[in-house]
Amino acid sequence: MAPREFNVLFLCTGNSARSIMAECAINRWGKGKFKGFSAGSHPKGAIHPMALALLKELNFETAGLRSKSWDEFARPDSPPLDFVFTVCDQVAGEQCPVWPGQPITAHWGAADPAAFVGDERQTRRFFFRIYTELDNRIKIFTSLPFDSLDRFALERRVREIGKIKPPEDR
């Protein structure tokens, strides 16, 4: 019997940059083992142009990406979620919907690249820094020994991953 994919939802307020980049990263690194999704509590309705440009530069398929509400994942017919990660501090403090599947949750906060103010080069560099921070966490997450961890150990590990800071922030 083939192992099933784990469904992972990344949440942010606007669903225009961080959560979108995390969705792409987990779909790349967790191919066959994880299916990534993203949503926002107050979606912007569009993906930030710099996030799209960076993802294209990193050879991600961006055609199906869209900014969407977290309500899409709280419906009875939504895919059951195994993990829900908040990637911004604001949404982590909000009252989340009840997710189908009793997922393991953790906060993986990262700075908001969409709020960064600078010239195009500085903005691209900041977006790449945030992408790298999320990408590193996702690589660690996807390499966890899921078969040998019970739920409590897994909860502890995913919360620890959220505390990993990029080298320049240490």
pLDDT tens digit sequence for 60-111: 999 999 999 999 999 888 989 999 999 987 766 667 777 877 899 999 999 9
What is the average pLDDT value for the chain, to the nearest integer?
91
The pLDDT, as a whole number, for residue 166 is: 75
Q: Residues 24, 88, 110, 134: which is the catalytic one?
A: 88
Burial of 76 (0-12, 13-18, 19+ CB in 10 A): exposed
Is a pLDDT exceeding 80 seen at residue 56?
yes
Is a pLDDT exceeding 70 seen at residue 39?
yes
Sheet with strand 83-86: strands edge to edge: 34-40, 6-12, 83-86, 104-107
88 is an active site residue: yes
Is a pLDDT exceeding 90 seen at residue 15?
yes
Is a pLDDT exceeding 90 seen at residue 155?
yes
Q: Residues 53, 58, 74, 96: which is the catalytic one?
A: 96
24 is an active site residue: no
Q: Residues 12, 20, 24, 26: which is the catalytic one?
A: 12
Q: Is 15 helix (H, G, I), strand (E, B) or coil?
A: coil
Is a pLDDT exceeding 70 seen at residue 123?
yes
The pLDDT, as a whole number, for residue 170 is: 45
Is a pLDDT exceeding 70 seen at residue 1?
no
Task: Write down the architecture of domain 6-169 according to CATH.
Answer: 3-Layer(aba) Sandwich (3.40)
The pLDDT, as a whole number, for residue 99 is: 82
